[in-house]
Amino acid sequence: MGIDCRYCHNTVDRTAAAGVPPTDTCMNCHELLRRDREKLIPVFESHATGMPVPWQRIHDLPDFAYFNHSAHVIGGLIPVAVVTAKALRGAYTADEHRGVTYAAMYWHFLDGIWLVMFLSMIAATWL
* pLDDT (0 to 100) of residue 88: 92
11 compared with 50, residue with greater pLDDT: 50
Percent of the chain with pLDDT over 90: 4
Q: What is the mean pLDDT of the chain?
A: 80
Percent of the chain with pLDDT over 70: 83
- What is the distance of C-alpha 87 from the center of its chain? 31
Query: Rounded to two decimals, what is the model's pTM?
Result: 0.41
Whether the Cβ atoms of residue 19 and residue 12 lie closer than 8 Å to each other? yes
For residue 68, give the nearest of 123, 108, 17, 119 by alpha carbon.
17
For residue 45, give the nearest of 26, 63, 32, 64 by alpha carbon.
26
* pLDDT (0 to 100) of residue 31: 78
In angstroms, the CA 24 to CA 44 distance is: 10
Please state, in angstroms and as integers, the Cα–Cα distance from residue 26 to each residue in 34, 47, 70, 82, 108, following that order. 11, 9, 30, 45, 39
User: What residue segments make up the domains of the chain, in order of their start?
Assistant: 5-49, 70-126
* pLDDT (0 to 100) of residue 85: 93
Question: Residues 69-93: what's their mean pLDDT?
Answer: 84
Q: Sign of the CA dihedral 113, 119, 121, 127?
A: negative
pLDDT range class, residue 80, cuts 50, 70, 90: confident
